Amino acid sequence: MGPDIVRDFSNDHSALALNTATLGHNLEGHGAGWSPEQVIDACAERGYGGIVFWRREVGTRAQEIGDRVRAAGMQVVGLCRTPFLTGPLVPGGHDAIMDDFFASIDMAAGLGASVLTIVTGGPEPRLKPLIESQKILADRIALAAPYAAERGVNLALEPLNPVYGGNRTCVMTVADALRVCDMVGAPNLGVAVDVYHVWWDTTLPDALAKAGQRILGYHLCDWLADTSDMLLDRGMMGDGVADLKGIRSAVEAAGYRGLCEVEIFSSQNWWQREPTEVLDTVVDRFRSVC
């Protein structure tokens, strides 16, 4: 098991993928209002190896966008993301969550994306021990994993920084994610490792070694020493305190050979800049500090 994209981790930046969030995909009126086609062309020109899209950008054009990426010589590395699978009730409850989960799988399959990212949602209301929410999460993933497998889609469970533990995640560490993987036991379920979320974890090398081939994605940015916003103040690689080379070494040592996906939410800095400058900076930093 594992993503079907295999690259060497050389200093060649074809191992680099862009997550479109890095261009401020949800900031109205910004240059990052670029169409998927503009993003694809700009990444291809710069030698990126792949792109990760968000559902809102894909809409009904999954096949078309996927083909365009491949025609440009790149891969659709992933799709962001499933709906929250746990947490406060949404209208329609469990059935509505699962319908949207299946829809996200269909879109990933349409794009030809090998990986669909799972952001779990927060703790279930009034269910205090966090592991109880993880069990509900596991049950819901188990219902969808075979459907995804039939469509060639791997599911990457992404632990989020504990600061999101109130309402966005019930999986805080790679070890948490592996516990849920073990509960589900599906061959197409693994883990997405995002340095923003896990950089602080001194047990990370051990957890990554245990994860091994279950690492389905590796996400880059940096943790700024003076982070000013919990959601939208991620740093460019090299501008923060995360041990990027050390984490990448541990991810490699565990056997990961997929692309490195740059995902920077930065409403006051990088989203204010020209997308071309951002894309060039990402390449420079990837070669120099990652």
d(CA 97, CA 109): 19
Minimum Å distance from CB 83 to a second copy?
17
Report if residue 78 touches a second copy, rule: CB under 8 A: no
Q: Does 227 bind a second copy (CB under 8 A)?
A: yes
Interface with a second copy includes 162 (CB under 8 A)?
Answer: yes
Compute the least distance from the CB of residue 238 to a second copy, in Å: 11
Applying CB under 8 A, the span of 66-74, 93-101, 139-147, 200-208 interacting with a second copy comes to 200-208
- Residues 220, 223: Cα–Cα separation, whole Å: 10
| 223 touches a second copy by CB under 8 A | yes
**Tokens describing residue 262:** 């740059």
User: Among 28, 51, 24, 26, which residue's Cα sits nearest to residue 270?
Assistant: 24
Structural contact between residues 17 and 260, judged by C-beta atoms closer than 8 angstroms? yes
Is residue 161 close enough to count as binding a second copy by CB under 8 A?
A: yes
**Residue 71 half-sphere exposure, CB side, CA atoms within 13 Å?**
10
Contact yes or no for 56/104 (Cβ under 8 A): no
Position 120 contacts a second copy (CB under 8 A): no
Long-range contacts of 31-35 (CB under 8 A, 24+ apart): 31/274, 31/275, 32/271, 32/275, 34/275
Contact between 242 and a second copy (CB under 8 A)? yes
Q: Which of 7-15, 39-47, 220-228, 275-283 is the region at the interface with a second copy (rule: CB under 8 A)? A: 220-228
For residue 76, list its beta bridge partners. 51
Q: Kindly indicate which of the ranges 7-15, 50-58, 198-206, 260-268 contains the residues binding a second copy, using the contact rule CB under 8 A.
A: 198-206
Assess 199 for contact with a second copy (CB under 8 A): yes
Tokens 């920077």 label which residue? Answer: 264
Residue from 27, 98, 130, 143 touching a second copy (CB under 8 A): that is 130
The interface region with a second copy, picked from 12-20, 156-164, 262-270, 277-285 by CB under 8 A, is 156-164
Beta strands in 122-231 (DSSP E): 154-157, 189-194, 215-220
Residues that bind a second copy (CB under 8 A): 88, 122-123, 128-131, 134, 161-163, 165-167, 172-173, 175-176, 179, 199-203, 223-227, 230, 240-246
